[in-house]
Structure 1
Amino acid sequence: MAPGPKLYPRATVKKIVKAHSGCHVGKSVDITVFLDYVLFVQSLVKEAAIESKKGGERGVTARSVKKVTADTLAKFKG
């Protein structure tokens, strides 16, 4: 079986993190950043779904995502 496509460009993520932090980055920093991103998006969608149900909407809308974005970002702020 052939390997699947790459999920993200590892070298590019490392370069971006290094440029923003100004520090040396380890070998697995790209994996950590990617997993943190996935957890953030998962949490954002979950909170937006809760907010949309409270508002009586049928599905997740841009409005419900906007309402919960600030709180979700605050949870993930390091």
Structure 2
Amino acid sequence: MAANKFYPRATVRKIVKAHSKRNLSKNADVLIFLDYGLFMNTLMKEATINSKQAGERGISAKSVKKVTELALSKFKG
């Protein structure tokens, strides 16, 4: 049975290399993918809290937009 890939490693490596114009270490794409997963988890948790405080039934685009800057600031290096 073939293992399922969560993301195309070669594509991620090409995109990051093109934007940074630097060589990547062997597993840099894995770390980037994991950091992205943590970011999305944080973003959704914050959006859930924001939507509940606003009295909404579900998460709306408005609640996600409100917390995006906060989530981004947590992940800046």
| TM-score (normalised: structure 1) | 0.93
Q: Which whole-Å deviations, capped at 9, do the CAs of 1:11-70 have from their partners, x for residues lacking one?
A: 111111111111110110110000000000000000000000100011111110010001
Q: Which amino acid aligns with 1:27?
A: K
Which position in structure 1 is the counterpart of 2:64?
65
C-alpha deviation, 1:5, in angstroms: 2.4
Which position in structure 1 is the counterpart of 2:32?
33
Does 1:5 find its partner at 2:4? Answer: yes
Gaps (5+ residues) in structure 1?
A: none
- Report the RMSD for the aligned CA atoms in angstroms: 0.9
User: 1:37 and 1:66 mapped to 2: Cα distance?
Assistant: 17
Which position in structure 2 is the counterpart of 1:14?
13
User: 1:45 and 1:4 mapped to 2: Cα distance?
Assistant: 28
User: 2:25 and 2:39 mapped to 1: Cα distance?
Assistant: 22
State the percentage of identical aligned residues: 58
